[in-house]
Amino acid sequence: MRSFAAIDFETANEQRTSVCSVGVVIVRNGEITDSFYSLIRPEPEYYCYWNMKIHGITFEDTVDAPIFPDVWCQIEPLIEGLPLIAHNKSFDESCLKACFRMYQMDYPEYEFHCTLQNARMLLKGLPDYKLYTVSAYCGYKLENHHHALADAEACAQIALRIMVED
């Protein structure tokens, strides 16, 4: 796959609608051409200890952040016509769909691919298939893991190395 948008969400709590940050990396013809990052005011607006421990985002960080529809208005033109890729797409795709439902937005049935599923099929013998492990195997050092933009970039690098055009 040579052109796509890698996307990653972080959530504030156990609710899929509680996205508190998003990172997007745009790849066109095999090259990273753009990226986008934003904090998002989650809905519902509370933070679980374990989520904060993972990504470090707190209520204070997002209290003045834009809501999902305002952020998506900035992302939508960047990803137009591109398939989306995530590492563990079931999580990120479910977050995206939940937010669209929450804000009563029409979901355009994005084409979604998964680097986690592809890695499990193509890269045999790894100790696990976590984003950090797979990106390291692919020669990309993931720094700042669980920052949505860093994770989206790692996902893009994995996709560029293991996913091929059908």
Distances in whole angstroms, Cα of residue 139 to Cα of each of 12, 109, 165: 30, 32, 21
10 Å Cβ neighbour count for 129? 17
Provide the pLDDT confidence category of residue 101 given band limits of 50, 70 and 90: very high
Once rounded to an integer, what is the mean pLDDT over residues 123-136?
Answer: 96
Burial class (CB in 10 A: 0-12, 13-18, 19+), 133: middle
Distance of alpha carbon 141 from alpha carbon 131, whole angstroms = 10
| Per-residue pLDDT reduced to its tens digit, 39-97 | 999 999 999 999 999 999 999 999 999 999 999 999 999 999 999 999 999 999 999 99
pLDDT of residue 142: 95
| Total tally of structural domains belonging to the chain | 1
pLDDT of residue 164: 62
Distance of alpha carbon 11 from alpha carbon 19, whole angstroms = 4
Q: Is it the case that residue 165 has pLDDT exceeding 70?
A: no
Distance of alpha carbon 100 from alpha carbon 93, whole angstroms = 11
pLDDT of residue 114: 97
Q: What does the block give as tokens for 61?
A: 């960080």
pLDDT of residue 166: 38
Q: Is it the case that residue 161 has pLDDT exceeding 70?
A: yes
Range of the domain at 131: 4-162
Residue 141: which CATH number? 3.30.420.10
DSSP type of residue 86: E
Q: Which amino acid is at 60?
A: E
pLDDT of residue 1: 81
